[in-house]
Amino acid sequence: MIYLVYGFIESERAVVVAQYYNPWEGLEEMHGPGIFVESIPEPQTQEGFSAVLMVKLPAEGSDDEPELYYDYRALPEPEETQLEKAQNRITTLEAADLDNKEMIATLYELTLMGGM
């Protein structure tokens, strides 16, 4: 038997915040809302995502059982990847800035020479 403690309920769904594999008497009173289950489903492995165990609670007065499922949330990119992207963006902006400065210098020279 496993006791799952869940957090804030929104639209009859909640994140499982703790799992007790050998629940003891009085656990429910100590840790707040939760459910007893026989087993927990295995999450699917999805690269770049983190599996978060969720519980769908039955509507009040319903005979339905709580349903466990996983919500898959995107993981942030590693710092190295973020840094590399930022450096590439800076290099691109610097090149564009240089092009703009060269164009301004050319226009200035043409203006001084009375061309245009």
Residues 58 and 8 in one domain: yes
Do residues 56 and 67 touch, judged by C-beta distance below 8 A?
yes
Residues 63 and 10 in one domain: yes
Residues 51 and 90 in one domain: no
Give the containing element (helix H, strand E) for 60: none
Specify the amino acid at residue 99. D
Of the candidates 58, 74, 90, which is a domain's last residue?
A: 74
Residues 35 and 59 in one domain: yes
Residues 67 and 114 in one domain: no
Full domain range(s) for residue 103: 76-116
- Count how many domains the chain has: 2
Distances (CA, A) of 70 to 49, 53, 56: 11, 5, 10
Residues 91 and 81 in one domain: yes
Residues 69 and 80 in one domain: no
For residue 80, the model assigns a pLDDT of: 87
- Write out the chain's pLDDT in tens, 116 residues: 888 999 888 889 999 998 988 777 777 767 778 888 999 999 998 888 999 999 999 888 888 889 999 999 999 888 888 889 889 999 999 988 888 899 998 888 888 887 55
Residues 32 and 66 in one domain: yes
Residues 63 and 105 in one domain: no
Residues 54 and 99 in one domain: no
pTM of the model: 0.61
Residues 110 and 87 in one domain: yes
